[in-house]
Amino acid sequence: MPHTPNIKGPGHNFTVDPAASNFTISPLSYLAANQNEDYNKLATGSLVFDLSAQHEPRILLLQRSAGDSMPNKWETPGGGCDDEDESILHAAARELWEEAGLSAAHISGPVGEPHFFRSRSGKRICKFNFLVQAEITSNGSLEVTLDPNEHQSFVWATLKQVQEKKVNGIELDFTTADTENVILEAFSLVKKDH
């Protein structure tokens, strides 16, 4: 049976699936070992599902603030890796905490192929997306707390709602096609385990 390391750090204490072990190194070390003309910066996305008493899995989606880039568009929690992050997975856990107030309990993945894009400042970014189990509160729920500077709303969406791009009358306009595709791919992985 593969070893599942326990990762500890400020504000998070999570385990890592062996499939994510390549991402237990610092962002700077990863960039040095994987030099590529396509990117010079790393980012992460966290695909968090509510698998509680629901009949079907629901994924957490955040709506970007009206005053931010890509205003009012929908995405999963995530963001850029900082040079100070202990590992790429710590960056994913940190971003999940900063954007949704959720603590990572276990990180699997990555899901799908990495996404390559340019930031507004011209950085060439490679984004990895991970399935993340968040810690459940004592009352048995996942309590989301948004940073209003980054996100203005959140929903828990089923596969059908993602496919229809609508949750309870709210239109889901995703940040990119890559974002939408990795969400759909994550559902296929979760359904296999659920």
For the chain, the domain total comes to 1
Q: 189, 171, 178: which is closest to 63 by C-alpha? A: 171
What's the pLDDT at 108?
A: 95
In a domain, 72, yes or no: yes
In a domain, 85, yes or no: yes
In a domain, 164, yes or no: yes
In a domain, 88, yes or no: yes
pLDDT tens track of the chain, all 194 residues?
A: 344 444 444 456 899 999 999 999 999 999 999 988 889 999 999 999 998 866 789 999 999 999 888 999 999 999 999 999 999 999 999 999 999 999 999 999 899 999 999 888 888 999 999 999 999 888 888 999 998 989 999 999 999 999 999 999 999 999 999 999 999 999 999 875 55
What's the pLDDT at 140?
A: 80
In a domain, 139, yes or no: yes
3-class secondary structure per residue, the chain: CCCCCEEEECCEEEEECHHHHHHCCCHHHHHHHCCECCECEEEEEEEEEECCCCCCCEEEEEEECCCCCCCCCEECCEEECCCCCCCHHHHHHHHHHHHHCCCEEEEECCCCCCEEEECCCCCEEEEEEEEEEECCCCCCCCCCCCCCCCEEEEEEECHHHHHHCEECCEECCECCHHHHHHHHHHHHHHHHHC
What's the pLDDT at 52?
A: 80
Q: Round to whole Å and give the CA distance between 82 and 23.
A: 14
Decide: 47 and 138 in contact? Cβ < 8 Å. no
Q: The CATH number of the domain where 116 resides is what?
A: 3.90.79.10
Decide: 20 and 3 in contact? Cβ < 8 Å. no
In a domain, 1, yes or no: no
What's the pLDDT at 4?
A: 45
Domain that holds residue 109: 6-193
